Amino acid sequence: MTEPGTLTHGAGGTLHISVDAERYRIEAEDLKSLLFYGRVIPIVEDRSRMTSDGILVSEVAIEGHAAMNSSGKAVMLHTRVGSYIVPLISFQRVARGEAISAPLFPLLPEVTG
């Protein structure tokens, strides 16, 4: 079973997702698509690495997606490490900066919508 995680508000309206040692983010510009139009949006991970020449290379990889559940009352987050759900009101409060964080609740494998 997957471990619970945390959704936090970051600089510039970016949302950060922390699950164990994994760190992901939802870009601020994608939030409108999710919250106002119900579109599926990407969850990304920053994969910075140092080359053999000592140059820092920053890569962004899509590692999952976020979507509204079928009732429209929660947001589901699907990542490499598992699937989670957070009540819509909690998600909105974190997105607006009214709350610093919200807990993520693990989804059972048979629950997808």
Report phi then psi at 31, rounded to 5.
-60, -40
Inside any domain, residue 111: no
Whole-prediction pTM value? 0.82
Number of domains, the chain: 1
Inside any domain, residue 48: yes
Q: Look up the domain containing 43 and give its range.
A: 5-106
User: Which is it for strands 41-50 and 101-106: parallel, antiparallel or unpaired?
Assistant: unpaired
List, for residues 60-100, the tens digit of each pLDDT value: 889 999 999 999 999 999 998 889 999 999 999 999 999 99
- Could you give the residue ranges of the DSSP H alpha helices within 1-113? 28-37, 88-96
**Residue type at 84 in one-letter notation:** Y
